[in-house]
Amino acid sequence: MQKRDLFIGFKASRAVPISNALTRDFLVQATLDGDVRRIEYQNSIVVDQRIMAVEGLVIERFDGRYAVDIVDARPSHDPAAEALTHLAFARRCHGIIELSAADVRSEPRCSAAREIWSHRGVRIHSDDRAEIRESLETSGPVALTELVASVMTRGDARAVIYALACEGAIEFDLHGGITDDLIVRSGLPGYAGSLRAYGA
């Protein structure tokens, strides 16, 4: 039996079983993507009074709900993604987003997301959290280097900022990678500090 790790993030409605690195990369990127509001997982669906296995991921974005088909990580028992189609209808999705391995691993976004997520276990002192959030509330969105230079933190400011992104307190667009002029903004209300520990 194949070993599965669990992915836990502040946007996930439940722990998501993952058996491959491609799905993990997608979940990390979706968690850090400001356009994604929620990630849902469903392992089965009832179709015509029979239970169909489906490793179903559904993301809720600003423009609607979508089932996600990571083609290169698709289960061997569902080559035509039949179950995923049924899931999309059942969960009232606007459509199915089909992604290849190349899509998920496109650079510099993939490496940037991995770098940010590697800081998910960094402990954040309450004073550091307050200092960074107050700076963003006062100044609004600001370049990463400007934010790092403007705050006094007990820990490494950049590491603290990355850790805050892992819990949803702040967000940035990683499509261009991690650069000095990467814009940092406050995250969505309700996410900040909602979880303190993350999975795989």
Report the C-alpha gap between 116 and 156 in whole angstroms: 14
Beta bridge partners of 44: 53
> 149 CB contacts (<8 Å, ≥6 apart)?
none
Mean pLDDT of 69-88: 71
At residue 1 the predicted structure's pLDDT band, cuts being 50, 70 and 90, is very low
What's the domain range around 43?
Answer: 5-104
| 128 neighbors 160 (Cβ within 8 angstroms) | yes
* pLDDT tens profile 126-174: 999 999 999 999 988 999 999 999 999 998 999 999 999 999 999 999 9
* pLDDT tens profile 96-134: 899 999 999 999 999 999 999 999 999 999 999 999 999
Beta bridge partners of 125: none
Of 104, 133, 151, which marks where a domain is finished? 104
Residues 61, 131 within the same domain = no
115 assigned to some structural domain: no
Mean pLDDT of 183-192: 77
136 assigned to some structural domain: yes
| 171 neighbors 187 (Cβ within 8 angstroms) | yes
CATH of the domain at 23: 3.40.1350.10
Q: Tally the domains of the chain.
A: 2
pTM for the model stands at: 0.86
113 assigned to some structural domain: no
Grouping H, G, I as helix, E, B as strand and the rest as coil, residue 83 is helix
Residues 86, 19 within the same domain = yes
**With 60 as the cut, is the pLDDT of residue 200 above it?**
no
